[in-house]
Amino acid sequence: MFFSHNSISKIIMNRNIDTKKIIISNPLKLDCGKEINNFPIAYETYGELNSEKSNAILVFHALTGDQYVSGKNPITNKDGWWSYAVGENKPIDTNKFFVICANVIGGCMGSYGPSTINETTGKQIGTDFPIITINDMVNAQYELIKYLKIEKLFAVVGGSMGGMQVLQFVANFPDKAKLAIPIACTSSHSAQNIAFNELGRQAIMADSKWENGFYSNYKLNPDKGLAVARMAAHITYLSEKGLQEKFGRKLQDRDSLRYGFEADFQIESYLRYQGSVFVDRFDANSYLYITRAMDYFDLSKQYKGNLSNAFKKTKTKFFVISFTSDWLYPTSENREIVIALNSIGADVGFVEIESDKGHDSFLLDVSSFLKTLGDYINSTYEVINERRI
């Protein structure tokens, strides 16, 4: 029953999302060598840009995120993905800051991606879409910042893949942000993370409805494969302790084992549910493209094997945050960023937040994280304004 959703209608509807959108006419040279132009970037903003244009914060979303950081997400009718952190009177207070978030290219919420309709054929681009990288995503979003006529952002912030974009943004545009907050991320995708992403991609591509990525031509959707990909990934976002405490061996709506392959255990039912709701809002090809972009991310390699070189030209202040129970982007990988920054005398703060909620901690109601993040952003905003840097 968990795989019975007909998500085609939703996916098709997604193509006509009523979202803020700009068309980037400047050609963008992608890392793969191809060039794109006249492509859409969907975005959302919260709060007001002040007259000095000094209060803008660009938030980058993670793998399955979108531009709806806060408020109600019009597609899912649920709270925005970072509602704990962003909004009125939240740590990143939209009464004070102008928050911008764009859907990454490769995504499926209105920005240029594999589900974008090719105007000449009238069909989705599918796997004819070029391979994109974190670098490409960031360069595309920079066009949005130019369009909004913001000379210098107060901050760039993001967790997980959003954190990778933060690092890439500062490397690409060293004088365009005063503050950078990469959270629960890495400067170089590890073998373990590539392995998990590959598992997800193989699940999608093994689904007979994938049709080499042209499923929409056949009005099909590889939702079983995508759901399995999501289920596997979801486990990596949690921690063993968190899982054990929340689910243990508790049974789902039954008193005893059924001696079959139904979801006897709550954890099974939970994962199936996570998979099923995910396919309603996410495009399988986008999942392939975005996980590939993450796998290709290796900032130190971009700078000849020396991560510090990525940040040599910048005066941006950094604040790196990791979580104790995050085994997907563990503290050690976040610390490498700190070490690279320290080795060139950059201005960097770092803390590992105690939490048993795993990698997902940055998205959840983890009070010490939210408090530290909010206090830091607010006091740094005051200090920087005082000093008029």
The residues that are catalytic are: 160, 326, 359
Q: Is residue 388 a contact residue for another protein (CB under 8 A)?
A: no
Q: Is residue 349 a contact residue for another protein (CB under 8 A)?
A: yes
Out of 12, 243, 351, 364, the residue judged to bind another protein by CB under 8 A: 351
Question: Are 190 and 333 contacting, i.e. CB atoms less than 8 angstroms apart?
Answer: yes
Q: What is d(CA 12, CA 362) in angstroms, rounded to the nearest whole number?
A: 31
Select 328 or 373, whichever has its Cβ closest to another protein. Answer: 373
Strand, helix or coil at 204?
helix
Strand, helix or coil at 54?
coil
Out of 25, 261, 345, 388, the residue judged to bind another protein by CB under 8 A: 345
Residue with tokens 């049974």: 251
| Beta bridge mates, 40 | 23
Q: What is d(CA 66, CA 168) in angstroms, rounded to the nearest whole number?
A: 19
Out of 273, 350, 364, 385, the residue judged to bind another protein by CB under 8 A: 350
Q: Is residue 367 a contact residue for another protein (CB under 8 A)?
A: no
Select 29 or 371, whichever has its Cβ closest to another protein. Answer: 371
Q: What is d(CA 7, CA 207) in angstroms, rounded to the nearest whole number?
A: 15
Stretch that binds another protein, among 13-21, 48-56, 284-292, 380-388 (CB under 8 A): 380-388
Find the farthest-apart pair of alpha carbons in the chain and give their distance in angstroms, rounded: 68
Q: Is residue 385 a contact residue for another protein (CB under 8 A)?
A: no
CB atoms inside a 10 Å sphere around CB 27: 10
Q: Is residue 379 a contact residue for another protein (CB under 8 A)?
A: yes
Closest distance between another protein and the C-beta of residue 388, in Å?
Answer: 13
Q: CA angle, 261 as apex, 256 and 265 as ends, to 5°? A: 45
The contact pattern for another protein, residues 264-303, with x = CB under 8 A and - = no contact, is ----------------------------------------
Where would I find the beta strands (DSSP E) of 221-372? 317-323, 348-353
Closest distance between another protein and the C-beta of residue 383, in Å?
Answer: 5
Residues contributing to the site for another protein (CB under 8 A): 317, 319, 338-339, 342-345, 347-354, 368, 371-372, 375-376, 379-380, 382-383, 387
